[in-house]
Chains A and B, each alone.
Chain A
């Protein structure tokens, strides 16, 4: 693993930012196509990037610990994760930010797995170039991010179940037995659905109702 520690502190308005960039190998998922070390090296030269590393599995326990330790040691205030789709691990890394004492919205993900290594498997150079671009764009974005705070709202402790077949019946009973009020809506005159029409059901061979 290559560690690049630079001292290029960028200025964003009156705030200076200290960005950490982590390029994840995702085992071989990313690393087999994208040159992760090169991506990390290039990112180290970007304004504001204090730490830039390639890392085996960013989402793993040791991976997260390493990032957390860096945040504390290098006083990082923004993180770029060049790994998988934010649709998968954004919640994971937002939690990591929080546990390191940072606002969870000061983190940005560059999607190297779904958008580079998996879709440009035969073009490693172009995939690496694209990865570098995506990281650069993420650093540009993360520099402009500011903390956001979640609001807490009241919630109605009541569930609507649409459909009264096996699925709806089981869901309603589970919810109701746990103390939640349920409104079960069924189109037909009786609940039971398709299941009620079956004679015997496998593997127990007993009646369906």
Chain B
């Protein structure tokens, strides 16, 4: 930790949050909000004189509220930066007349009540997301009585209790009488592996954390009785089984079964009712103290960051990697990488491994000092451009400039263009060519697909990042669905031009599916808003023309929703079956007449 503080190449911004990210791989502009610390970070020598005179006493967050701190405080002894911090909400007032004892106590004059939040903008090439975890909050698990009984603590509170730097100076005490417990129980899978409360996934670290705690306890207090209540012990890593065996050899009892209820007796000790699934019997265990082995949940703010960077999440709420096997630290957004529990719960060793991998991937991109862009960008055909300004309006990247007043043709900044193709889909004059996804390329795919027996086929448009990836996921999971669909891949659902849909119906498509990322998850910021608008418009026109609007479906399917993709395919097949050959013929006629009308 201190290496980070000292490193000449690391600019450390604490009390800071990323508020906005603009740009693209190699050239991001990141806006960071640095909140005021009210203590000069460089000048403060952490002498602690200020805290000594501060009259405000508050629970200490670092010690999980098991000890107290002042309104001006050091987060913990080894903190980096070591400077103190003033919590201005707790402080008696900005007005020095009210208190201001700390200002008087600070000889170096580091404290400044008038410090304000700063907004910093940084130019950045690559981004590593290492937002970590949030321990599961066990208050909803009422059966364990965490909120009712004082001698039930969470694993994190336990860590602070037995820590030499903690509130009890490393002595294990229970909270009601400050006495050393003679017996202690650990309940595993708190918030993990449950479909009822908490989360269904395994949190990966809690088994080994508990085993470690039992070893620490047994070494310090050989006569302490320890019982661990578990579903399975997952000791799968290098050297883990060895620690587990050692723990059992030292006399720790492992009981297969989670408690159903916990009751408190008069002296504060606890009675656990457990169905031992190994023996099949209901057992009661009396323990002086109980520790809840908390599961891991995604960090708060994960979703906010996901939206800012256009990333994807798994159904569990952790960040989704570009490929589960081959690109485990890459995000689907180029130039963004994951490290640590942001991607999934993992232990320290795995986190360190992944962090090194992420930095290597970032270096691989940056070391040349230049970057090759994908040439999948849009281009304007100047002769056909009427300078109406629509393309500039819909571009999520402000990559198109057009002077509507002077009627000069639109210009695409190819460096800023990310290639969603929304401009090409919205241009009414065919004046924009979306390279690699041109009108001709897509139209020819549609035509070929509907050449033979069109009534049996489901024309499906899928965006590269979410719904096409969702289809891949369905494949990887071997989910079976009707074989009638034929997918046409576009980079974004925003590329799906209205005329592709009419084209499809005119060539005899019974049903058409347009699919993309969920609103808010679009890989191209908000391009799928235009997809939604467009489909709504087409639905209205269909109604007017006498074509059943339900034959055109719009579905949002994320990269992790393989199951949803398969379900949508089943639904589309049901819809398809309800479209008769006569109805298809009728639609073709209607559209032919309509075409004639617009021509004349």
Q: Which residue numbers of A lie inside 8 Å of B, CB to CB?
A: 85-88, 105, 111, 113-116, 118-123, 126-127, 129-130, 133-134, 136-137, 139-141, 143-145, 148-176, 178-203, 205, 208-209
Complex CA distance for A88 and B27, rounded to whole angstroms: 26
A sample of 9 more A-B contacts (CB under 8 A), given A133-B449, A160-B28, is A119-B480, A137-B486, A150-B375, A161-B128, A163-B130, A165-B132, A182-B7, A184-B13, A196-B62
* A157 adjacent to B478 (CB under 8 Å): no
A116 CB, nearest partner CB in chain B, Å: 8
A residues within 8 A CB of B468? 85, 87
Proximity string of chain B (2-45) to chain A, C-beta cutoff 8 Å, 1 when within and 0 when not: 01110101111111111000000111101010000100000000
A168 to chain B, nearest CB (A): 4
Q: B130, A167: Cβ atoms under 8 Å?
A: yes
Q: Does B568 contact A (CB under 8 A)?
A: no
A184-B323 CB under 8 A given contacts A87-B468, A150-B373, A194-B135: no
Chain A neighbourhood of B441, CB < 8 A = 141, 144-145
16 contacts between A and B (CB under 8 A): A85-B472, A88-B326, A129-B483, A145-B436, A156-B27, A156-B125, A160-B122, A164-B12, A165-B130, A166-B340, A166-B355, A183-B13, A184-B11, A197-B64, A201-B212, A203-B243
Q: Is B239 an interface residue (CB 8 A)?
A: yes
B588 within 8 A of A: no
B32 in contact with A185 (CB, 8 Å): yes
Contact B366 A159 (CB under 8 A): yes
Chain B: minimal CB distance from A156 (Å): 4
B375 and A156 contact, CB distance less than 8 A: no
Q: Are B125 and A120 in contact (CB under 8 A)?
A: no
Stretch of B74-82, B254-262, B270-278 with 4 or more beta carbons under 8 angstroms from chain A: B74-82
A96 to chain B, nearest CB (A): 17
Q: Which of B351-389 contact A (CB under 8 A)?
A: 351-352, 354-356, 358-360, 362-363, 365-376
> B138-146, B157-165, B282-290, B512-520: which lies at the A interface?
B157-165
Q: A159, B362: Cβ atoms under 8 Å?
A: yes
B124 touches A155 (CB 8 A): no
Say yes or no: is B590 at the interface (Cβ < 8 Å to chain A): no
Given contacts A87-B464, A152-B371, A171-B355, contact A189 B15 (CB under 8 A): yes
Cβ of B471 within 8 Å of any chain A Cβ, yes or no, is yes
> In the complex, A172→B127 CA distance in Å?
11
Measured CB to CB, the nearest residue on chain B to A132 is B452
Known: A141-B444, A150-B373. A203 touches B123 (CB 8 A): no
In the complex formed, the residue of B with least CB distance to A46 is B448
Query: What residues of chain B lie closer than 8 Å to A183, measured between beta carbons?
Result: 11, 13, 30, 32, 122, 124
Q: Determine if B16 and A187 form an interchain contact, defined as CB atoms under 8 angstroms apart.
A: yes
- State how many angstroms separate the Cβ of B332 from the closest Cβ of chain A: 9
Q: Complex Cα distance A186/B376, Å? A: 36
Which of the listed residues B1, B5, B131, B242 has the most CB atoms from chain A within 10 Å of its own CB? B1
B131 touches A163 (CB 8 A): yes
Q: Which residues does chain B contribute within 8 Å of A153, judged by CB atoms? A: 26-27, 370-373, 415
Asked if A209 and B78 sit within 8 Å, CB to CB, the answer is yes
Q: Please indicate which of the listed interface residues A144, A161, A193 has the most CB atoms of chain B within 10 Å of its own CB.
A: A161
How far is the CB of B438 from the nearest CB of chain A, in Å? 7
Contacts of B488 in A (CB 8 A): 137
Interface string of B414-450 (1 = CB under 8 A from A): 1100000000000000000001101011101101110
**Which residue on chain B has the smallest CB distance to residue A134?**
B486
Contact of A114 (CB < 8 Å), options: B14, B212, B372, B472:
B472
- Whether the Cβ atoms of A169 and B481 lie closer than 8 Å is no
In the assembled complex, the Cα of A190 lies from the Cα of B160 at a distance in Å of 17
- Partner pick for A87 among B15, B132, B469, CB 8 A cutoff: B469
- Report the Cα distance A176→B303, complex, angstroms: 28
Chain A to chain B: the 7 pairs with minimum beta-carbon distance, closest first: A167-B340, A114-B475, A170-B355, A155-B26, A190-B79, A174-B359, A167-B130
B80–A192 touching, CB < 8 Å = yes
Give the shortest distance, in Å, between B498 (CB) and chain A (any CB): 20
Contacts of B153 in A (CB 8 A): none
Within the complex, the shortest CB–CB distance from B62 to chain A, in Å, comes to 7
